[in-house]
């Protein structure tokens, strides 16, 4: 059944009442849009920062620390460095801070980072909803459970590879040397150059991933993202799980049809799966207001649940960033003069104009 065909009885009642209530889905999608716009603003500012380093005649632009969110490997290395030394590195501190906040959000409310905050998760969801609107008669087939499980293996294998390399194979001195080394100091600049001047293979891979997300619901998040695999494993410890109240459940299966991660919510007592993103689509789709709750004891119900989930995510993410800023663990310790020296060589490894080759950029 297509996502657009899922019934939302509460939404229908609200339409007659004339005033929509703050459902979790509405609040979550509003936050997703805000995060995508925020990422675009950070990207534009970072591009202007790099341009000002390439041409000192341009007005100086500060490097936005939020760009660390695009450096998950640097964040994982910073996390290991913090666990080993008790201090955050001064090169890419925001990368480690943002990873820690994503893990904290997952520890409290399943892997809510993926459904509420991740811009890639939002893009994947938008593509799937676009498919449902463009092709409403195109059935949303789901893969057999055994094949679905096999296809989820790559993200856990990637996570295992990075975790072994960073936490086991890399000695502390090598980790310290890499963090302070020249590559890590311009990792964000290299990332920009990689996407600003992609190769044909890169364009083909990105196009393939977009098409896959259009054809398969949450394809990247479900099958390929090691970041999501890590937050999912941490979310197993979360006390705030979706729980089904058997006495109130009518077994209509609306919750299962609504679940984007293909979980059989109508058969579960509590949704413990590491694939649950706390999107709360199942709660909004349920026609019985008391059948699905979140949390221990009596749990939270609609509409307080929607507001509480939003408040928790905002408090962890933006409150955590504010604390990091106040503690001096947000901006890195690289000065403007050093950036003027190290940014141009990093960008020169990629052609920036037609006909240019590596290392031959004109002054």
Q: Which residues pair with 243 in a beta bridge?
A: 270, 293
Average pLDDT value for residue range 96-106: 94
Residue 103 has pLDDT above 90, yes or no: yes
Q: Tell me the three state secondary structure of residue 141.
A: coil
Residue 39 has pLDDT above 80, yes or no: yes
User: Which of the residue ranges 9-23, 41-55, 143-157, 214-228 would you say has the lowest mean pLDDT?
Assistant: 9-23
Which positions ≥6 away from 1 have C-beta within 8 Å? 139, 140, 257
Counts of helices then strands in the chain (DSSP H, E): 18, 2
Q: How many residues does the chain have?
A: 363
Average pLDDT value for residue range 264-286: 94
Average pLDDT value for residue range 112-134: 92
**In angstroms, rounded to a whole number, what is the distance separating the alpha carbons of residues 313 and 293?**
18
* Mean of pLDDT over the chain: 87
pLDDT at 20: 61
Average pLDDT value for residue range 1-20: 46
Task: Tell me the pLDDT band of 358, cut-offs 50, 70 and 90.
Answer: very low
Task: Tell me the pLDDT band of 349, cut-offs 50, 70 and 90.
Answer: low
Determine what percent of the chain is predicted with pLDDT higher than 70.
89
pLDDT at 145: 80
Task: Tell me the pLDDT band of 355, cut-offs 50, 70 and 90.
Answer: very low
For residue 6, how far is the Cα from the chain centroid?
25
Average pLDDT value for residue range 209-231: 89
pLDDT at 141: 65
Average pLDDT value for residue range 198-208: 90
Average pLDDT value for residue range 185-201: 90
Would you say 230 and 223 are in contact if contact means Cβ atoms under 8 Å apart? no
Q: Summarize pLDDT for 141-179 with one digit per residue, the tens.
A: 677 888 888 889 999 999 999 999 999 999 989 999 999
C-alpha separations of 71 from 96, 143, 191, 227, 247 in Å: 9, 32, 8, 11, 46
Would you say 320 and 97 are in contact if contact means Cβ atoms under 8 Å apart? yes
Would you say 63 and 46 are in contact if contact means Cβ atoms under 8 Å apart? yes
For residue 131, how far is the Cα from the chain centroid?
21
Average pLDDT value for residue range 333-355: 78
Average pLDDT value for residue range 304-320: 93
Residue 280 has pLDDT above 90, yes or no: yes
Residues 268/290/254/129 CA torsion (nearest 10 deg): -110
Residue 292 has pLDDT above 80, yes or no: yes
User: Which of the residue ranges 70-74, 158-162, 297-301, 343-347 would you say has the lowest mean pLDDT?
Assistant: 297-301
Which positions ≥6 away from 94 have C-beta within 8 Å? 65, 66, 67, 68, 69, 324, 330, 331, 332
pLDDT at 27: 95
């Amino acid at each position: 059944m297509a996502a657009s065909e899922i019934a939302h009885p509460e939404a229908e009642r609200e339409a007659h009442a004339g005033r929509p209530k703050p459902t979790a889905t509405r609040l979550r999608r509003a936050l997703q849009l805000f995060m995508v716009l925020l990422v675009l603003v950070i990207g534009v500012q970072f591009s202007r920062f790099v341009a000002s380093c390439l041409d000192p005649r341009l007005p100086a632009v500060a490097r936005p620390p939020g760009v660390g969110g695009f450096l998950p490997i640097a964040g994982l290395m910073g996390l290991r460095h913090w666990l080993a030394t008790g201090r955050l590195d001064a090169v890419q501190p925001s990368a480690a801070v943002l990873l820690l906040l994503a893990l904290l959000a997952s520890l409290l409310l399943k892997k809510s980072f993926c459904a509420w905050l991740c811009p890639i998760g939002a893009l994947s969801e938008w593509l799937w909803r676009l498919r449902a609107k463009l092709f409403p008669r195109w059935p949303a087939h789901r893969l057999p459970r055994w094949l679905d499980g096999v296809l989820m293996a790559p993200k856990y294998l990637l996570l295992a590879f990075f975790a072994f390399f960073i936490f086991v194979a890399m000695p502390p001195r090598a980790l310290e040397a890499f963090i302070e080394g020249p590559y890590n100091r311009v990792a964000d600049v290299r990332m920009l150059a990689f996407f600003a001047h992609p190769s044909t293979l890169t364009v083909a891979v990105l196009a393939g991933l977009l098409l896959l997300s259009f054809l398969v619901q949450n394809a990247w998040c479900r099958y390929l993202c090691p970041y999501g695999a890590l937050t999912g494993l941490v979310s197993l410890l979360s006390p705030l799980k979706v729980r089904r109240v058997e006495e109130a459940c009518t077994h209509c299966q609306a919750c299962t049809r609504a679940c984007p991660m293909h979980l059989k919510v109508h058969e579960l007592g509590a949704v413990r799966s590491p694939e649950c993103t706390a999107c709360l689509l199942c709660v909004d789709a349920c026609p019985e207001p008391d059948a699905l709750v979140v949390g221990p004891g009596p749990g939270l119900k609609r509409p307080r649940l929607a507001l509480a989930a939003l408040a928790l995510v905002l408090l962890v993410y933006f409150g955590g960033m504010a604390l990091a800023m106040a503690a001096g663990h947000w901006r890195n310790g690289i000065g403007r003069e050093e950036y003027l020296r190290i940014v141009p060589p990093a960008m020169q490894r990629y052609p920036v104009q037609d006909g240019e080759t590596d290392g031959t950029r004109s002054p």
